[in-house]
Structures are given as C-alpha cells and as structure tokens.
Amino acid sequence: MPDLPFASEVIREMRSRPYTMVVILLLTLAVPYVWQTDARASDVAELKQEVAHIDAALLEAKLRAISSELFDIQQKVSEKQQAHQVVDQIYLDRISSLLSDKAQAERDLAIAMKR
C-alpha cells in the first residue's frame, strides 16, 4: 500500500469522529443522486413541453381537416341550392356535426396553447 501523507490523518479523523466520516460518505453518495434527479426533472419538463407542442400541432391539423371538409360540403350544398335541387339531409347533418367538431377542436387548441 502506498504511503500517503494524509492517510494517517484520515484514519485518525475516522477514529475520533466517526459521525463526521459517515456524513461525508453520505454526502458523497447523495450529491450524484441529486444531480441525476435534477437532470431527470428537467428532462421531464422538456418532454412535457415537446408533447404539448405536438398536441397543438395535431389539433391544428385536425382543425384544418375539419375546415376543409366543411368547406367542401358547404360548396356542394350551395351548388345544389343554386340549381334549385333538394339538398339531402345527410349533408345538412354532416355540416352540423362538422361545425360542432370544429368548435370543440378550437376550444381544445385554445386550452393546449395556454399550457
């Protein structure tokens, strides 16, 4: 065993104050754990933020799809009305459903953007 100048002092300190050495040992073990835990917490916060952005992007895509389908059906209904044809009830029901879905998607998007 190499002769270290401070080894005898460390051994004397351990014998005279064992609780101090226990505290030092615990701190030596605890500090890396605290750093890892803090790093995990920041990683979780970053991931939550990324998920919120993805949710918002998905809601925006859903809103665009609903708006596009709503526009297409409204155009179809408008053409039939201009041609003085009877508009099928299924078109009117679908417009009503899409308007409801669009309002819900807008509310969900507003909530997601506040996060």
Kindly report the three-state secondary structure assignment for every residue of 36-57: HHHHHHHHHHHHHHHHHHHHHH
Separation of alpha carbons 12 and 66, rounded Å: 77
Separation of alpha carbons 29 and 43, rounded Å: 22
pLDDT of residue 5: 64
Return the percentage of the chain with pLDDT > 70, whole number.
88
Q: Where are the domains of the chain?
A: 7-114
89, 95, 90, 104: which is closest to 72 by C-alpha? 95
pLDDT band at 4 (very low <50, low <70, confident <90, very high): low
How many Cβ atoms sit within 10 Å of the Cβ of residue 105? 19
Q: What is the pLDDT of residues 65-90, one digit of tens each?
A: 999 999 999 999 999 999 999 999 99
- The mean pLDDT value for 23-47 works out to 75
How many Cβ atoms sit within 10 Å of the Cβ of residue 80? 14
95, 11, 66, 21: which is closest to 87 by C-alpha? 95
Higher pLDDT, 5 or 23: 23
pLDDT of residue 1: 47
pLDDT band at 95 (very low <50, low <70, confident <90, very high): very high
Predicted TM-score of the model (pTM) = 0.61
Q: Could you give the C-alpha distances from 42 to 37, 38, 59, 101, in angstroms and in order?
A: 9, 6, 26, 36
pLDDT of residue 112: 85
pLDDT band at 9 (very low <50, low <70, confident <90, very high): confident
